[in-house]
Amino acid sequence: MKKQIICLLIACFASASLEAQTIASLASPNKLIEVKLIQSPEKQIQYQISYKSKEVIAPSSLGFTFKKPVADLRKFNIIRIDSSTFDETWSPILGEVKDIRNQYKQLSLELKDAGNSGIIIQINFRIYDDGIGFRYNFPKQDNLNHFIVDNEWSTFKMTGDHTAFWIPGDYDTNEYTYNKSKLSEIDASAAAAKEKDIALTSPIGKNFVQSPLMLKSAEGLYINVHEAALLNYPVMHLQVNGSTLTSQLTPDAVGNKAYLQTPFSTPWRTLIIADKAEQILASKLILNLNEPSKIKDSTWIKGQKFVGMWWEMHVGKANWPLANGKHGANTANVKRYIDFAAQHSFDGVLVEGWNQGWEDWFGNWKENVFDFTSPYPDYDIDSLTKYAQSKGLRLIMHHETSGSATNYERRMDAAYAYMVSKGINTVKTGYVGRIIPRGEHHDSQWMTQHYQRVAEKAADYKLMVDSHESSHPTGLQRTYPNWLTSEAARGSEFNNAPTLGIASNHTTILPFTRLIGGPMDYTPGLFHLSLNQFDTTRTQKVRSTLAKQLALYVTIYSPLQMASDLPENYEQHLDAFQFIKDVAVNWDDTKIISAEPGEYLTIARKAKGKDAWFIGSITNENARNISFGLDFLDPDKTYEAIVYRDADTADFEKNPEAYIIEKRLVTRVSNMTYRLQRGGGCAVSLKKIN
Ligand code: NOJ
Ligand code: CA
């Protein structure tokens, strides 16, 4: 990193001024984004951002209040301002592209409380071509050792009443339906009140939303607000006041936000800024703001596709507990899944409901219902794990904690050693319900530490993790690449929910919101789209066509992907199932071809180490035509394209399972044109022909 001290503006620090003073400014490497740092006459520190010379973030204040020692850190004297540049290229262990350029300019401020606490804070701004990140550092200092945060006062002052894609602020769940409204029209309380599908909610109030928050200005500028590298700190929610967003940290069980010790750095607060929606999806800013992998030998970390009896439980064919006569995780049924997985070359079989405790797992808020090492008597784990391995695949173990994260921590070593002894290398964790016994929130500092402890402990045992009901991801897949994916949003399981379910536009919003933070275990691939197959009283329908279910394997990035429907349903459509068998989960390249939040999305990805591309296009509840070129293909080569598209009569409400499969030869000068029907999609595989 090249460093330089900015001296030119230092002259104005000394004298008190009646006007706001610009104390430093720095532009992104391509000069399109500029950050100005300002000191107000009241000694507040503000940042202002412009994009292509137009103000995007109006002067916005920064600061903290502490509970212990009591301190109000919102007015400062400036000690020092540095700037530096950085440019490196790194390669993710699993990812959407092979190489990522991390190029930014940095402005670092050192500030001293203008009051009498003597506390020193540093604020670092990293300015990228696609946005900015800033974080606070509390260096080791005589005046501050342990401290308790009352709140962080980071503000993001938008320059207009932008359109927002938002979910209600909630300290315990992010499994909400997305809403679209002007910032001034956000009513999170009303939206949360409609969410009867969610068992546990702690909505914060009318004006609170979660990040990643996607905004679009009237002039067509896209701004995404989120955070990166969330470690040892609570999740940031956002309070909306007019066009100004203010950070709202998740409290702990007694109302404190964070217990910290110097030296400490907060997560990065991030703004991705672009005048094209596609550029928001192509941004690698969040990943770049995370630390490199902590796992030295990562050869055991692999992308995977898996099947499992999970959906049997959700649609009422089977159940988790042994007691009720429909136990899904019995030896014969798991063997059936292993056979199916082996026949179709999957890597894993997820087994839920394998362990004792499910009779009493939900609603009573009990500790110790699961020990994670006691299988039900009708589940012969030893013979099954050997059988799976003889067929070249592995079982994936489920650890539902039922919110008892402390119980899980006490048992983690034994549970992971047990997994290793059975040759199982991937765990799906879950945190349904209240976090007991202390009543921490899912988004609290303690739970953030817990998710990190799980990732680290799992890495000690060479285990890969898929977390459900965890907090929103913030790019930690760079630092802990064994934490393959998480749910942390409304996933496909909600197709079966009785009220709101999953709207047809949901998957066109997810890439702009939830997926900005990291991969998602959405569990796509439903082929039987009326959910009354095993329970004729159910009226729920998946609001997607079958072809769209295929496209989701490309539009929703995850190195761990489930084919979530039942073998008997796939056997009805083995021709369409071929796409799920073929599609990759780890990529050398990704092209965002076209995108608009809430409307449509087309993404092409090149499979890791292969001459094969996969394309996914999806639409919301409206039908539309899609047309694009293939100039990303190698020159002078011919590819066989297999197109899995909606039939002309397909419609998510009336005829969702109607699809057509067509083959054609294409080159890089060919055009793809197809029609996405209502709630529809299209998936394409492209293989180079020798
Ligand atoms: C919610 C999870 O998201 C789902 O995948 C799981 O099957 C149930 N909890 C039971 O643990
Ligand atoms: Ca869930």
174-190 per-position pLDDT tens digit? 999 999 999 999 999 99
| pLDDT value at residue 11 | 38
Residue of 493, 571, 621, 653 with catalytic role: 493
Q: Provide the percentage of residues in the chain whose pLDDT is more than 90.
A: 93
- Mutate-to-test residue for ligand 1 from 175, 352, 494, highest number of ligand atoms within 8 A of CB: 352
Distance 111 CA to ligand 1 centre (A): 46
Report the separation in Å between the CA atom of 458 and the middle of ligand 1, taken as the mean of its atom positions: 20
Query: In this structure, which amino acid lies at residue 426?
Result: T
Residue 507 identity (one-letter amino acid): T
C-beta atoms surrounding 453 within 10 Å:
14
As residues whose CB is below 5 A from the ion ligand 2, the structure lists 468, 487
Q: Which ligand lies nearest to the CA atom of residue 357 in the structure? A: 1
pLDDT computed for residue 198 by the predictor:
78
> Which pLDDT value is given to residue 689?
95
User: What is the whole-number distance in angstroms between the Cα of residue 282 and the centre of ligand 2?
Assistant: 27
pLDDT at 3: 59
Counting ligand 1 atoms within 8 A of each CB, the residue from 360, 400, 401, 495 with the most, and so the one to mutate, is 400
What is residue 200's predicted lDDT score, i.e. its pLDDT? Answer: 66
> Which ligand is in closest contact with the Cα of 355?
1
* Four-way CATH pick for 2-288: 2.70.98.10, 3.30.420.40, 2.160.10.10, 3.40.50.300: 2.70.98.10
| Active-site residue flag, 493 | yes
Which residue from 307, 470, 485, 493 has its CB within 8 A of the most atoms of ligand 1, so it is best to mutate? 493
pLDDT at 196: 77
Ligand 1 atom nearest 491 alpha carbon: 3
Cα 667–chain centre separation: 34
Separation CA 214–CA 27 (nearest Å): 23
Question: Could you tell me which of 561, 514, 552 has the C-alpha nearest to residue 304?
Answer: 561
pLDDT tens figures, 377-428? 999 999 999 999 999 999 999 999 999 999 999 999 999 999 999 999 999 9
CA 245, distance to chain mean position in Å, is 21
Q: 182 is written with which tokens?
A: 């002007």
Residues in a beta bridge with 104: 86
| 521-547: pLDDT as tens digits | 999 999 999 999 999 999 999 999 999
Instruction: Specify the ligand 1 atom closest to the Cα of 320.
Output: 10
Ligand 1, atom 2: nearest CA belongs to which residue?
A: 468
Half-sphere exposure of 571 (CA within 13 A, CB side): 7
Between 497 and 563, the higher pLDDT residue: 563
pLDDT band at 364 (very low <50, low <70, confident <90, very high): confident
- Summarize the confidence of residues 666-683 as an average pLDDT: 98
User: pLDDT tens digit string along 86-104?
Assistant: 999 999 999 999 999 999 9
Residue among 175, 317, 432 whose CB has most ligand 1 atoms within 8 A, to mutate: 432
What would the mean pLDDT of 438-461 be, rounded to a whole number?
Answer: 97
> Which ligand is the nearest neighbour of the Cα of 402?
1
Mean pLDDT (the chain, rounded): 96
Residue 50 C-alpha to ligand 1 middle, in angstroms? 43
Q: What is the pLDDT of residues 433-449, one digit of tens each?
A: 999 988 999 999 999 99
Structure-block tokens of residue 269: 């607060």
In this structure, what token pair is assigned to residue 120?
């020193």
Judged against a pLDDT cut of 70, whether residue 340 lies above it is answered with yes
CA 175 to ligand 1: nearest atom: 3
Which ligand 1 atom sits closest to the C-alpha of 430? 11
Helix/strand/coil for 302 = coil
Could you tell me the residue ranges of all domains in the chain? 2-288, 304-583
Write out residues with Cβ below 6 Å of ligand 1: 310, 352, 400, 430, 432, 468, 487, 493
Distance from the CA of 283 to the center of ligand 1, in angstroms? 30
Q: Considering the domain 304-583 in this protein, what is its CATH number?
A: 3.20.20.70
- The stretch 567-574 carries a mean pLDDT of 98
Ligand 1 centre from 165 Cα, in Å?
Answer: 25
| pLDDT at 2 > cutoff 80 | no
Give pLDDT, residue 4.
56
**Exposure class string for 664-686: b at 16+ Cβ within 10 A, else e:** eebeeebebebbbbbbbbbbbbb
Residues 261-287: tens digit of each pLDDT: 999 999 999 999 999 999 999 999 999
- From ligand 1's centre to the CA of 470, what distance in Å? 12
CA-proximal residue: ligand 1, atom 3 (nearest): 468
Cβ neighbours of residue 223 closer than 8 Å, sequence gap 6 or more: 56, 158, 162, 214, 215, 216, 217, 271, 272, 273
Closest ligand 1 atom to Cα of 428: 5
Query: Do 594 and 602 touch, CB atoms closer than 8 A?
Result: yes
Judge whether residue 499 has pLDDT over 90.
Answer: no
Segment 596-645, tens digit of pLDDT = 999 999 999 999 999 999 999 999 999 999 999 999 999 999 999 999 99
Q: Check pLDDT > 50 for residue 8.
A: no
Q: What is the pLDDT of residue 199?
A: 65
